[in-house]
Structures are given as C-alpha cells and as structure tokens.
Amino acid sequence: MNVLILGSGGREHVLTWKSVQSAIVEHVYVAPGNAGTAQIATNVDLSVMDFEAVAAFCKANKINVLIPGSEDPLVAGIVDFMEAQQDLDIFILGPNKESAQLEGSKEYAKAFMLENNIPTATYDSFTSETINEAKAYLRTKTAPYVLKADGLAAGKGVVISETLEHADATLDDMLLDEKFGKASSRVVIEDFLQGVEFSIFAMSDGENYVILPEAKDYKRIGEGDTGLNTGGMGAVSPVPFMNSDYLEKVETQIIKPTFDGLKKRQMTFVGFVFFGLINDNGDPKVIEYNVRMGDPETEVVFPRIQNDFGAMLELAANKRLNEVKMRIDERTCSTVFTVSGGYPESYDKGTKITFRPHEANDAVIFHAGTKIQEHDIVTSGGRVLAVSAFGEDIQDALRKSYNGVQNISFDKMYYRKDIGQDLLTLSK
C-alpha cells in the first residue's frame, strides 16, 4: 500500500509515523511535509490545494490511500475532485464537500444537531439583513454571549463577549464589515456553556465507524489559559472523567446519532469526525464538529492506538471497519509544543534548532513548523516541535514530555509549563 498524506504539521508527522510502522504500507509520501516527515518518509513539493497536481502525483506514484490532514482541501472538495478523475482508483480518508459542511458551516452543523437531537447549545443564526433581529435575540440572553462566524475563519471565527455593547459591535464587525470575509456573512449566536472541554474522534468508512481515544488540548498561548488563541500548545489523553459509563453516554447521545443522522440525510461520511465537546456537569454537549483529526490531539491520540494503521486503512477502503478491534494503550500520553517566541503574533523563521542526544525514554518528537535548510533543521512556523510521551498517569507523562523538551533548543523558544495541570484537580 502506498500512502500520500497532505499537510505539513504535527498531525501529519504523526500520521506519517503511524503509517510507516505498518506492516503493509510500502511507501509514504507527504505533501509538502516538514523536516520530521523527511526523516521517515518522502516529502513531495505539492500544494494541498492544487488538486490537479495531487491527482497527477497519485497516478504517477500508484498511491492507494490519500489522507488530507486539514479541513481546507476537504471543504474545498478534494474528495469530489478525485472521485471525478478517470483512471484514479484511490481510497481517500476524508469526507466529500457536502459532508465537510459539518465543519465548513456552523449553521449547517447546528441545524444538523437540532434535527438529530444531539445535545448542543441553543442557537439562532443571522445575516446582515436580520442584524436587528440578532441584536434583539442577544437581549433575550445573558452574558457571556457566543458569536460564531458561519464559515471557516482559521480558528478565529468565535468571539465570546462579556457585554451587550461588545456583542453588538462584534455583530456589526462580522455582518456589516465582513470581519472574516464571506465566512462571517452569517453569524450563529449560541448560549454559553460551562465545563471542561475535550474532544473525541471517530474514523468512518462510510458504513461503519470506530471510536478513537479522547483528548484535551490547550489552546491559549499563556499559562492558566490566558492570552491569544493558538493552534494548540499541548494535549493530554485520556481525560480523568472518561470511563466506560461516560463513553457510553458520548456514544449513544452524540457519536451514534451523528452517524445515523448522516445516513438519514443519505450523506456518506468517510474520514475522521472530531467531536469538540464540553462536559456540562456530567453531560457531554457538542461545541463543534471538525471533519479531520485535531492538532495537537493527534500527537496524543495516535500514539495510544496499537492497531496497525495500514490494516485499518485497508479495511476502511473495503467498508469493513466493523472488523477492526481497537487496541488502545491504557497509559496516559501527553504532548508539549515548543513554539517560536512571539507566536501567535509575529515571530522569526529560519532559526536553527539544536537537538541534544537524549537518554532512552518514552518521548517522541513530532515536527510541525520545521524545514531542512542545507544541513540544518530550522524553524519555519509558529508551532515548531511537539514532544509526546507516555506515563503511568498525567504527571508521569508530562514529566517525560518536559524532559524531552529539555533536549531541544532554538533562539526564543517558548512553551507552556502548565499543560495538564488543571486535569490533576479533577476527580475520576
């Protein structure tokens, strides 16, 4: 089996790492990849949005499985494009354009949840024509107000306003001034939910699905969850409140109704569903769907999967995922991201990274914003390297992740020192 993975982040390095371990995978290509994927697979200089070039590469290199890492090519219809190609017999682990709307449109996702009785925050949605209704709707609610641009906004489309004045101004920005371009020509307003956020993942072949481990990520740049949002500063799997009863709740109230709802709409969903959840006093509710794995969640979820990934892909391609018996490492996996100083605002690129030879421990380094420049590995993005490690519990895993971080250095390197600390206070 030959596999092509699209993307260049930590998630794609993990998918590459897991694919190359498979007994049945021959070649793994990554487009465009990073310095980490270059060490274990073949990087290909292709843009993930250049579907023509991706199709041509797949034909020329006898690719059997294509895995788009991020949502952009999926929402833009890479699956539909590939399926329309003649003489391209390929399995794509990702949803078509219609199913990708679960992530591509918040309004679409909310209507879908309502239709299928999937627990989520109460909402309504508005456009520039109904902005007065939107402001009236806000006045029937209490602070904080949650406003969401309908479309993809690079993870920045959610604004939580503490006051009515701020919420009104945000509506003006989004609907009248198109703050997020077309993505904010429609705005969803929903009730604020309180609780611990986490996510759980499923992999679907269009007929069957398997549930993958859950994780909690840390989005803010600053310790104590302060400061600007980032692509993710670290993650932990499992979360302390997950047990078989809770998992059953998540499956019967959320995961199964989601796949049943897709079938009811005669939508074929192939690929990963990322269920962004909040634990609302013991009841899981959906904050959002994504149609791909999370980053940095993949850096803690995939190491826990003991199954041969190639074998899972082969069964998925034949709509036989129901035959997969998931084997999940019981230990805790944590990851800590080292980022470029200044991120998520401006930061330097091209800074040389030094790796110290480290003692054998359970830590693995996954690359994100790195590239090879002459004989050096240099930074090429804000989030640079994720250090994942296993431990007997959260503290043990984190101790190993942080030990691994000590083996990396580059100018202005920053990382959060409090990943997972909030989970220590939660009871099982």
- Judged by the rule CB under 6 A, the positions of this chain that interact with ligand GLY are 217, 232, 290, 294-295, 297
Q: Which is nearer to ligand GLY, 284 or 294 (CB)?
A: 294
Helical H runs in 105-163? 106-115, 131-138
Quote the CA–CA distance of 93 and 146 in Å, as a whole number: 32
Q: Which is nearer to ligand GLY, 69 or 310 (CB)?
A: 69
Quote the CA–CA distance of 25 and 20 in Å, as a whole number: 6
Query: Which candidate, 223, 265, 218, places its Cα nearest to that of 237?
Result: 218
Q: Give the CA radius of gyration of the chain.
A: 21
Site for ligand AMP in 143-162 (CB under 6 A): 146, 158
Site for ligand AMP in 32-91 (CB under 6 A): none
Q: Which two tokens stand for residue 382?
A: 């804000």
Per-residue b or e along 200-224, where b marks 16 or more CB atoms closer than 10 Å to that residue's CB: bbbbbbbebbbbbbbbbbbbbbeee
Q: Which stretch binds ligand AMP (CB under 6 A): 44-52, 71-79, 185-193, 254-262?
A: 185-193
Measured from the CB of residue 62, what is the shortest distance to ligand AMP in angstroms? 38
- Site membership for ligand AMP, residue 190 (CB under 6 A): yes
Measured from the CB of residue 356, what is the shortest distance to ligand AMP in angstroms? 35
- Site membership for ligand AMP, residue 280 (CB under 6 A): no
Site for ligand AMP in 208-247 (CB under 6 A): none
Q: Which of 69, 213, 276, 284 binds ligand AMP (CB under 6 A)?
A: 276
Question: Quick one: the chain helix, strand, coil %, rounded to 5?
Answer: 30, 30, 40
Measured from the CB of residue 272, what is the shortest distance to ligand AMP in angstroms? 16
Q: Which of 26, 176, 192, 349 binds ligand AMP (CB under 6 A)?
A: 192
Q: Which does 158 bind (CB under 5 to 8 A by kind): ligand GLY, ligand AMP, none?
A: ligand AMP
Q: Which does 232 bind (CB under 5 to 8 A by kind): ligand AMP, ligand GLY, none?
A: ligand GLY
Contacts of 61 (CB under 8 A, 6+ apart): 2, 4, 27, 29
Q: Which is nearer to ligand AMP, 94 or 276 (CB)?
A: 276
Q: Which is nearer to ligand GLY, 55 or 121 (CB)?
A: 121
Strand partners, 212: 201
Measured from the CB of residue 386, what is the shortest distance to ligand GLY in angstroms? 12
Side by side, which strands form the sheet with 186-190?
Answer: 123-127, 186-190, 145-149, 158-161
Measured from the CB of residue 171, what is the shortest distance to ligand AMP in angstroms? 16
Q: Which does 297 bind (CB under 5 to 8 A by kind): ligand GLY, ligand AMP, none?
A: ligand GLY
Q: Which is nearer to ligand GLY, 294 or 369 (CB)?
A: 294
Cβ atoms of residues 401 and 345 within 8 Å: no
Quote the CA–CA distance of 394 and 380 in Å, as a whole number: 30
Quote the CA–CA distance of 69 and 11 in Å, as a whole number: 7
- Site membership for ligand AMP, residue 355 (CB under 6 A): no
Q: Which is nearer to ligand GLY, 155 or 224 (CB)?
A: 155
Q: Which is nearer to ligand GLY, 301 or 378 (CB)?
A: 301
Q: How far is CA 109 from CA 112, 179, 183, 187, 417, in A?
A: 5, 21, 14, 13, 35
Cβ atoms of residues 368 and 337 within 8 Å: yes
Contacts of 163 (CB under 8 A, 6+ apart): 143
Measured from the CB of residue 59, what is the shortest distance to ligand GLY in angstroms? 31
Measured from the CB of residue 161, what is the shortest distance to ligand AMP in angstroms? 12
Helix, strand or coil, per DSSP, at residue 385: strand
Q: Which is nearer to ligand GLY, 294 or 404 (CB)?
A: 294
- Site membership for ligand AMP, residue 287 (CB under 6 A): yes
Residue of this chain nearest to ligand GLY (CB atom)? 294
Measured from the CB of residue 295, what is the shortest distance to ligand GLY in angstroms? 5
Q: Which two tokens stand for residue 237?
A: 């799997």
Q: Which does 294 bind (CB under 5 to 8 A by kind): ligand GLY, ligand AMP, none?
A: ligand GLY
Q: Which two tokens stand for residue 41?
A: 């697979």
**Contacting positions for ligand AMP (CB under 6 A):** 121, 146, 158, 190, 192-193, 197, 276, 287-288
